[in-house]
Amino acid sequence: MVLWRKQVALFKKAVLEAKRKCFDDFISNINYKEDSMKTYKFLSTLQNKRPVPKKEPIYFNGAILTSDKVVANAFGQSYAKNQKKGPFARKFSSQIKNEIRDAGYLPQPNCKGCFGQSKHLNSSVCGF
């Protein structure tokens, strides 16, 4: 097993050295002013960049969507619509506290004798 790993490492090293040698030879012999297309093509194949695929139109709610912005907005609207909450359903802690209080889980905001304290405490001290 160890011998196999060593052979794989040597193979990877040989491939990397061959790629470096090819690249160095190409760069040392290139004339950028005359061979610009050849240089671009070579570098794009080395970087494994392929041309952008053709955009296909998307049919959504009986409309044809072609631009990136329209497709992104349609996706966002569809995603937000399918969520349990609405797209703008952000709740603040005060809203959550009021809902819990209305459900009967918290005492009403009456601070007279709140938590066994004296009557001189105001509501900000009690937390309601």
* pLDDT the model gives residue 48: 74
Q: pLDDT tens, 48-102?
A: 767 777 878 888 778 888 888 888 888 888 777 766 665 566 667 777 777 777 7
Local confidence band at 115 (pLDDT 50, 70, 90 cut-offs):
low
- Contact between 74 and 65 under an 8 Å Cβ cutoff? The reply is yes
User: What are the residues whose beta carbons fall under 8 Å from the beta carbon of 44, sequence distance 6 or more?
Assistant: none
What predicted TM-score, i.e. pTM, was given to this entire model? 0.31
Taken as a whole, the chain contains a residue count of 128
Local confidence band at 9 (pLDDT 50, 70, 90 cut-offs):
very high
User: What are the residues whose beta carbons fall under 8 Å from the beta carbon of 100, sequence distance 6 or more?
Assistant: 106
- Contact between 126 and 117 under an 8 Å Cβ cutoff? The reply is yes
pLDDT (mean) for 16-32: 85
